[in-house]
Every structure is written in structure tokens, then in C-alpha cells.
Amino acid sequence: MQTPIHPRRLHIHLQGMPLATCREFAVHLRQLSQVVTELLWRTNPIFDSQTDQIDAITLTLPSESLVLEQLCEIILFYAGRYLDTNPAIPIRLYFEQRTLQLPADKVEVIAFLKSQPD
């Protein structure tokens, strides 16, 4: 009997990233096999065009994802592009009660995504 595959959720907190970039990032991630993305909108009732509109991108991944390397490359591409212009604002990954702040290298991100919860 096969063990059922339970999806796992990764949250990419995108403080300050422009809406168009967040959407492009989510679409790029969605192209990966078995990855589902959702944009989480900010809930601040006061509109300010100078602040970010997206709080995070949530990804649903299968437990045995074969796309971790591609996922990592996409995350690092967008994080690098954003952090080059906004180095003081961190991008954080939240995965199964753990957090990783970018910048990080590919090995660190893949290890973070592969590790089991505490």
C-alpha cells in the first residue's frame, strides 16, 4: 500500500516587492510541475501606493517534490534581483515552522526545503 502524499506549504514573505514583480514571480513558480501558488494580499485597511500590496506568495508542494532545484533557482533569482536594489529589506522563507532569511546560497535553500520539521 502506498503512503499518501501530503502537500507542504512554503510561504515567501516579500516585504516591499512591487506587485508586478510578485505576480511575475508567482507565475514563474506556477510553471513548475505540481506546484500551486497563491498571492496573499496585505490586509492593511489604509491604502498607500508607496508600500507593498502583497504580503507573501504561498506555494503548495508535494512531499516528494522533484522540482526543488528549479524552485530554489527561481527563488534565488527573484530574491537576488530584488535584494540588489533593496538590500536592507529581507525576504524570508517560512516552511513547516522554520524560517530562512535570504540572501542565502543554493545549498542552504535546498537543505532548508529538504529538511524535516523539528
- The residues spanned by each domain of the chain are 8-114
**What residues contact residue 28 under an 8 Å CB cut-off, 6+ apart?**
74, 78
Q: What is the mean pLDDT of residues 52-73?
A: 82
Q: List the beta strands (DSSP E) in 1-118.
A: 8-13, 36-41, 54-61, 91-95, 98-102
In the chain, pLDDT over 70 holds for what percent of residues?
Answer: 84
Q: What is the mean pLDDT of the chain?
A: 82
Per-residue pLDDT, 12: 92
Question: Which pLDDT score, from 0 to 100, does residue 50 have?
Answer: 62
| Contact call for residues 14 and 42 (beta carbons, < 8 A) | no
* CB atoms inside a 10 Å sphere around CB 25: 24
Q: Measuring CA to CA, how many Å separate 11 from each of 34, 82, 91?
A: 16, 17, 10
- Amino acid identity of residue 72, one-letter, is C
Q: How far is CA 112 from CA 19, 34, 102, 117, in A?
A: 26, 19, 12, 10
Q: Report pLDDT digits (tens) over 29-56.
A: 999 988 899 999 888 777 766 666 888 9
- Domain 8-114: which CATH class? alpha beta
Could you tell me the pTM of the whole model? Answer: 0.81
